[in-house]
Structure 1
Amino acid sequence: MIHHGIRFTLKPGVTPEQLEEALESLRTQGRTIASVKSFVVGRDYGGDYEWGATFVIEDLDGYWEYLIHPDHLRTDRLGLPLVDKFTSFDITDDPDPDTGTKIAALHQRRFDGDAELTRLVSGLGEYVGSGAPGAHGD
């Protein structure tokens, strides 16, 4: 299993309505993407971020399905313009020592095929973690 997580803080001036639309879009991903086995979207406590989400995905094939699903793409286009700081991370019980590198490669493949997504990510104040362009999953 892979637990894919994101944590983020918002740019100043984001309205409550914009935030709720973005959070609901994240929830929609959890409900509609078949490879997502469970999910949580909500406040992030105990760190430097305001909000977060985790999605439990069975394997790398499911992870790719998640990444390219239209509901995930919609969330990116809706939510990323609202975000200042963003991090992504993955926790897995897969014993393959190359799983992190394989996850980073999936993200990079997605960025390579989507110039608009790459532009949106470039506009973030900070983006680190397993999904960041050029990440190695280490």
Structure 2
Amino acid sequence: MIVHQLRFKFRDGTTEAQQETVLALMRRTGSVESASFSVVGRHLGDSAEGLTHAYCVGLADLDAVARYMRDPVHLAGDPQIIPHLDTLVIGPDASDDPDPDLATKLVDLHERKLADFPDWARLMDSIPTVRIA
């Protein structure tokens, strides 16, 4: 199992209704065939970080990650989600997969998605603050 986590803060000016729409879209993304489970809601970590919400999705293996990243539901939701994010912290992810190269393989999948979907790459670049944890 690979558990992928995003922690984030909405941009100033994002209304409550817009926030609820973003969270609903994330829940929809977390319900795609390749996801084993997902959680979307409040970030319960250190409030000093300024992060307010979190998204966590469980994916059975690397093949499920590849399907998840390119799922039409996932790709359709991001253009409606990403413009509302001010800060995005990706990870830390976790896995019970013993493959010592798993982290590198996950980065490679992400890099291929950036290359194959330049509009998505531009969307990601539009987030003011992105960190990999």
Return the TM-score normalized by structure 2. Answer: 0.92
The one-character-per-residue Cα deviations of 1:2-52 (angstroms, maximum 9, x if unpaired) are: 001111111100011111111001111122x11111110000012321111
Displacement of 1:73 after TM fit? 1.1
Segments of 4+ in structure 1 off by > 2 A?
A: none
Matched-pair contact (CA < 8 Å) for 1:25–1:74: no
Higher relative CO (CA 8 A, sep ≥ 6), structure 1 or 2? 2
Counterpart of 1:121 in structure 2 is 124
SS at match of 2:22: helix
Taking only aligned residues, the RMSD between alpha carbons, in angstroms, comes to 1.1
Instruction: Pick from 78, 99, 108 the counterpart of residue 105 of structure 1.
Output: 108
Deviations 1:64-114 (A, max 9, x none): 111011111122111110001101122101111110010011011001011
TM-score (norm 1): 0.89
Aligned length: 129
Alignment correspondent of 2:33? 34
The residue number in structure 2 matching 1:54 is 56
Residue 67 of structure 1 is matched in structure 2 by 69
Give the % identical residues: 33
Consecutive unaligned residues of structure 1, counting only runs of 5 or more, are 131-138
Unaligned ranges ≥5, structure 2:
none
Question: Are the equivalent residues in 2 in contact too, given 1:4–1:56 (CA < 8 A)?
Answer: yes
